[in-house]
Amino acid sequence: MAEENQDGQERTEDPTPKRQREAKEKGQVPRSRELNTTLSMVAAAAGLMVLGDHMGQGLVQVTGYGFNLSRAEVFDPQAPLRMLFGAIGQGLAVVAPFAILMLLVTLFSPMLLGGWSFSGESLKPKLEKLDPLKGMKRIFSVRALVELAKSLAKVLVVGLIGAGFMWWALGDFHLLMRQSLETGIAHGISLFFKAFLLLSVGLVLIAAIDVPYQLWDHRKKLRMTKQEVKDEFKDTEGKPEVKARIRQMQRELAQGRMMESVPQADVVVTNPTHFAVALKYDQLKMRAPQVVAKGTDLVAQRIRELARENGVPLFEAPPLARALYHTTEIDGEIPGGLYLAVAQVLAYIYQLRGAPADARPARPNPELPEEFQEYARRGQET
């Protein structure tokens, strides 16, 4: 059954990336104490097995250092203090490798699950933690039962491994009583290290179960209601009415810039009433003619008005106007398939500029390739 929020709505939706990011900023990341404890114990056991002999010999030397006093040192008041600091320095040097190993494991083990997270949010005092009712709820919650189950499982696993090791090493324990003091101590320490390593490795089973549970539990806590997802989308993407207004303003600004380019056009190809496309071509700067403005209905009417006001010639060619409108973008080049048709129109316009009134060139009837016929039929006037 899905959890409910304070409003009684079920948390059925997976957390969004924004919700996960905010949770991490607050220090809410998945954590497994079992994983950290297991890694620390395994590292400690491995470190003791590798460094145990070195540490043991070093500690014996440190202990003997305090008893090797010359006659002069016995009567020297400063000698005990000097020897104390010397023994401390030697002891630290002996245990330093093991201490560094444990420090590194302690620092980097949390990165395996949830990564590092530094947040002051979790340090803030929360009065709700002092609420006895909520405290009782936490005690008898599912999480508390899971923690109890893990504790019992750890006791069971450690107990079984310990009993199994005792049974397996029973002969070694009997042998200790017949060995010399030094040999017996070394043998006993070796058995202790082996038992410690086996017990640590046994906890891997608990950690292997706890890690997936912690990931699932963390994701479950971050689940959202459908309303929360909608609200977040509105906050992130903007409310629909605001977005519509923004798009309208963008269209108005783009249209204003487009209209400013109409007076610089060479020709406006019209439908004649429903479509208008303004073209410009500069042989020195452009590879092909470009569309500087286009529109339908009222926008097309405004383009024609600006063209007449600024002396830009209008050329009525309904199929070509519709094809240009549907296959081009503002400030974009015309398609290669329309080069010939547009070239005929521009050539006619250029000839008109220098021709006398009684010697006008013949008006061309530009034809469209077959692949543009479909565009030419769109929005065809009736």
CA 353 remoteness from chain centre = 62
3-state secondary structure of 113: coil
Instruction: Select the more confidently predicted residue: 152 or 137.
Output: 152
CA distance 164 to 174: 16
Residue 41 has pLDDT above 60, yes or no: yes
Residue 39 has pLDDT above 70, yes or no: yes
pLDDT in tens, 57-100: 777 777 766 667 666 766 777 777 777 777 788 888 888 888 88
| Residue in the structure block whose two tokens are 């009997």 | 174
User: Given this model, what pLDDT does residue 202 score?
Assistant: 77
Q: If we measure between CA atoms, which residue out of 87, 88, 92, 94 comes closest to residue 69?
A: 87
| Residue in the structure block whose two tokens are 């933690």 | 129
Angle CA 344–346–351, to nearest 5: 95
* Longest distance between any two alpha carbons in the chain, whole Å: 136
Residue 6 has pLDDT above 70, yes or no: no
Q: If we measure between CA atoms, which residue out of 50, 67, 40, 3 comes closest to residue 221?
A: 3
Instruction: Select the more confidently predicted residue: 93 or 3.
Output: 93
pLDDT in tens, 242-255: 566 656 665 655 56
Question: Which of the given ranges, 48-52, 113-117, 349-353, has the highest pLDDT on average?
Answer: 349-353
Lowest mean pLDDT, pick from 5-14, 177-186, 275-284, 338-347: 5-14
User: Given this model, what pLDDT does residue 1 score?
Assistant: 45
CA distance 26 to 119: 6
3-state secondary structure of 278: strand
pLDDT in tens, 212-236: 888 888 788 888 777 777 777 766 6
**Residue count of the chain:** 382
3-state secondary structure of 368: coil
State the virtual CA torsion across 91, 93, 98, 102 in degrees, nearest 10: 100
Rounded to 5 degrees, what are φ and ψ at 140? -105, 25
User: Given this model, what pLDDT does residue 7 score?
Assistant: 55
Indicate the average pLDDT of the chain.
77
CA 189 remoteness from chain centre = 48
Structure tokens at 133: 């009712």
Q: If we measure between CA atoms, which residue out of 66, 93, 70 comes closest to residue 81?
A: 66
Name, in order, each residue with C-beta under 8 angstroms of 189's C-beta and a sequence gap of 6 or more.
Answer: 52, 56
